[in-house]
Amino acid sequence: MAATSLSYSHWGTNSSARLSSGTGPHILVVDNGPDIIESMCNFLISESYKVTHCTRGIDALARMQQGLRPDVVLLDHLMPDTDGLQTLDRMKAIAPAVRVVMLSSSTDARPVVDAMRRGARDFLFKPLRKSELEESIRKCLGIGPEQLPAVKGQEIELPNDTSFVFASKRMWDIRAQCSLVARVDLPVLILGESGTGKEILAQFIHHMSPRAHRTFLKVNCAAMPAELLESELFGYEQGAFTGATRSKPGRFELCNHGTILLDEIGEMPPSLQAKLLQVLQDGSFSRLGSRTTIKVDVRVLAATNIDVRAAIAQKKFREDLFYRLNGFTMSLPPLRERKEEIPVLMRYFSRKLTGKYAREPLAISDALISACMSYAWPGNLRELENFVKRYLVLGDEQMMIREIAPDMTQPVPSGTEAFASEGSVSLKALVRGLKDQAELEAIAVALNRTGWNRKQAALELKISYKALLYKIRQFGLQPSRMGPVG
């Protein structure tokens, strides 16, 4: 056995005490295997944890009903009287905040999904690895993202010169979910706005999975018409259509035993959704122009920025396909909801792009970071990366700050005042300042006139509702601060 995969005998077999008097956090171990109980308890005691153990779920529940409140519960999935999932439900009823890590010797995906949906914090597979158990307990105890310096974060290198970067608690939790879901072979549906990093997350799941050494392929379902997309996914035989001079395998064949990412799955034509459903059900399909069935073993990850349930209601997306894809759903938050990551991401993009373009690195000042933190980033990580790229090319910090936060630069005089101070303001800055002032006044008038009915104001201004919301955030407009403008 490898050094990182510890057998129970490696963990020690010296004691089987029901309760230890360690000084650290309290761990409740619930497992019906005597050797496992003894080994885990001795390992935890050696790490200074206080440990209580029970061999039956019903005994653990009785202890909790009597007032026992462990910091973490290590709960076996399969037990003779009350199984782990039932015990988990009842533990949550007694103490809703209890943090439970499920343990199992089975690699079946269904208990993992059930346990996570019922409130388990993690799911570990036996034989346990010491490092995995330590990391899982630390995560449950909150030792992790809260102790990461805001400017440091974490960076996991992936193939193709990419990295999964995270520095906020929400992204730390998503990273932990990915590590768990990656181990079990079930579809994953990744939701999030455009540019939030859905493809990177899919690559990370593949990288952490048993298929990591196999092929990973991405197909953009919105980038081609239905006929071309079908041949791209499933391949075709010679003569299947005009121009098919020879047979060609599709992406599913090329990705056999690997992982395929169906990006923008919400844009897949309905005519193809039934064929994809067949692949998800039994791994079989036929090439275009062929009567022969091909069987493949491919893990499917799907990503979209649409509201899937709304698409189902509008009959644009098959409900049965959604439930097949929805083995586990992960939602990536937009950058505006994890702004603490902006400094980390800026430095990551700067380091990455400096090497790519062989340019001298530029300092990222507090003023530039402050401007970026105040901006809404509607394009999310993709927009931030392009912003950093322009900064590296242009090298003008003040220009970049004016691009996203004009109110943070020197105020521009209006009207003839701008010309009274000769040479103090460039023509470009003057025009930009006048334009912003005009926009601000027009928006303020429309909002006041409509009683801050933003949809009605957007109609009056002949701009989209989303554009109006962006301008309101950009100018910092608030009802309580606005009076008549004119």
Q: What share of the chain is helix, strand, coil (3-state, %, to 5)?
A: 50, 15, 40
Higher pLDDT, 327 or 383: 383
pLDDT value of residue 20: 52
Beta strands in 94-148 (DSSP E): 100-104, 122-125
Q: Which of 224-233, 241-250, 426-435 has the lowest mean pLDDT?
A: 426-435
273 pLDDT higher than 50: yes
Do the bridges between strand 299-304 and strand 259-263 make them parallel or antiparallel, or are there none, so unpaired? parallel
pLDDT value of residue 6: 40
For residue 201, the surrounding DSSP H or E stretch is helix 198-208
5 pLDDT higher than 70: no
Question: 432 pLDDT band (50/70/90 cuts)?
Answer: low
- Nearest-Å Rg of the Cα atoms of the chain is 28
| Mean pLDDT over each residue of the chain, to the nearest integer | 81
Q: Which domains does the chain have, with CATH numbers?
A: 8-143 (3.40.50.2300), 154-331 (3.40.50.300), 336-408 (1.10.8.60), 424-481 (1.10.10)
pLDDT per residue as tens digits for the range 179-224: 778 888 889 999 999 999 999 999 999 998 889 899 999 999 988 8
Query: What is the end-to-end Cα distance of the chain in Å, rounded?
Result: 78
pLDDT per residue as tens digits for the range 147-162: 444 435 678 888 877 8
138 pLDDT higher than 80: yes
pLDDT value of residue 452: 83
Q: Which of 46-55, 179-188, 247-256, 404-413 has the lowest mean pLDDT?
A: 404-413
Average pLDDT, integer, range 227-231: 89
418 pLDDT higher than 50: no
d(CA 5, CA 12): 14
Q: What is the DSSP letter of 156?
A: E
Residue 189 pairs in a beta bridge with 302, 329
